[in-house]
Amino acid sequence: MFTIGFYLLMLIIVIGSFRRDSDKTKLALIKAWKYFENILPLFLSIIFGIGIILSVLSPEAISKILGNQSGWLGIIVAAIIGSVTVIPGFVTFPLAATLLKNGAGLTQIIVFISTSVMVGVITIPIEIKYLGRKVTYLRNSLALVFSILIAFIMEALIK
């Protein structure tokens, strides 16, 4: 539904822009392609890499490791899985719900969600291209630490 919304928005902008200035419109479209082409090799590597990782880690296998009684070990494993996998957002939450139903602990799942959305180990090369090493490593480490803190606070508030 949101995808359709974005396509409509794109269509309105392209048509509106073309009526005002066709040269600028062409330039914008060329730019769009250049930005895309720029990250294409890494993008494809990541998509294929995720496929391999997700085929090894099934929801049942993950739930067992992240069980209610798994404690800190489960939290660490959740943080690692969340950090190394780049799962699309619309997959993260249904997957998290499935894991909870299969017996995973709430704290562990929140750590998984937070690290999954905020920490991207596989995408570090792209991040470094734009933000440099220092910012990239600092941002990812902070996101990792805060993900665990967020999980404890949320767990206390939701229970």
Partner 1 sequence: MKKIFKRYRTLGIILIINLFFILLSPQSGINALIITAENLTEMLLIMPPIFILLGFLDIWVEKETMIKFLGENSKFLGIFTAFLLGSIAAGPLYVAFPFVGVLMKKGSKFSNVLIFIGAWSATKIPISLFEASVMGWKFMIVRYLIDVPVIILMAFIVDKAISSSEKEMLYKNPKIL
* Member of 17, 59, 65, 121 binding partner 1 (CB under 8 A): 17
* Phi, psi (rounded to 5 degrees) for 87: -100, 135
Quick check: 19 binds partner 1 (CB under 8 A)? no
CA distance 95 to 82: 12
Place of tokens 């294409």: 40
Site for partner 1 in 39-68 (CB under 8 A): 39, 41-52, 54-56
Residue 144: both structure tokens together: 């990792």
CB-based contact 119:140 (threshold 8 Å):
yes
CB closer to partner 1 out of 69 and 156? 156
* Member of 24, 68, 71, 72 binding partner 1 (CB under 8 A): 24
Site for partner 1 in 114-133 (CB under 8 A): 114, 117-118, 120, 123, 126-127, 129-132
CB closer to partner 1 out of 18 and 65? 18
CB closer to partner 1 out of 22 and 73? 22
CA distance 85 to 13: 34
Quick check: 6 binds partner 1 (CB under 8 A)? yes
Quick check: 36 binds partner 1 (CB under 8 A)? yes
Specify the 3-state DSSP secondary structure of 105: coil
CB closer to partner 1 out of 73 and 142? 142
CB-based contact 104:62 (threshold 8 Å):
yes
